[in-house]
Structure 1
């Protein structure tokens, strides 16, 4: 419940902070858009001071709420670390560096059958092009 409320506050502060940053007048003319315009609804000096102060206040609130959310969600997950979740107590140190043995034996492939080599002087019979057709028995 508290995390949901803080997260909502953090999102609202973030959106307002974005708005304040975008409404500020650029002072360095970084993209060639420096200068006045319709954004000067108060005096230039007073608007700059107000916007700068509000930006710093919103930034500080955003950072504080983000840190609180980080601490609360870290405690919510539990105090177990990843190392505590590993079952390293039952490990045998003598077999750690042993090569792995396959659980299932690898299938063996039969050796290829070689055709007999023709002998010198023996007549060679060409293989039939097609298998002989069988006639149905009557």
Structure 2
């Protein structure tokens, strides 16, 4: 339950962080670098506001990521991969025995497959090989 709520908040923070980063101007003065006096809602002041929001959302993102990792690790700590295997059902005497093929009765065996005979065409006449085409008339010399 708690993981679902934290994951939902985490997704919302991710979407908001993406939106805030995309709204910032790409002038190279992001994340508090660069300075100078500026007003609150001037062009530079809006950049400072977006920078502060970016820092807050980024910090929230990292804290939520750490919390989700710790909680999901603690939830899975009670289960072990070895505990999920059914080792008690394995008989060690049967492990080294060769596999016995199942007997096949003649009535249940499928019929053998045969490949169709390929039709090869003669490139000069266009007829299939093995068939005869009418002979071309012999040229006559006058």
TM-score by length of 1: 0.51
CA drift of 1:101 comes to 1.5
Equivalent position of 1:11 in the other structure: 11
CA drift of 1:62 comes to 1.2
Q: Which has the larger radius of gyration?
A: 1
Instruction: Give the structure with the larger helix fraction.
Output: 2
Distance in 2 of aligned mates of 1:53 and 1:98: 69
Equivalent position of 1:63 in the other structure: 62
Q: Which whole-Å deviations, capped at 9, do the CAs of 1:84-103 have from their partners, x for residues lacking one? A: 1112244344532432123x
Equivalent position of 2:85 in the other structure: 86
Distance 1:48-1:106 versus aligned 2 partners, 3 A rule:
same
Task: Give the unaligned 5+ runs of structure 2.
Answer: 29-40, 110-142
Corresponding residue pairs, total: 96
Q: Which whole-Å deviations, capped at 9, do the CAs of 1:10-68 have from their partners, x for residues lacking one? A: 2332222121011011247xxxxxxxxxxxx6233x44443234223212211221331
CA RMSD of aligned residues (A): 3.1
Task: Give the unaligned 5+ runs of structure 1.
Answer: 29-40, 111-138
Equivalent positions of 1:8-87 (< 5 A) are: 8-27=8-27, 42-44=42-44, 46-76=45-75, 79-87=78-86
TM-score by length of 2: 0.50
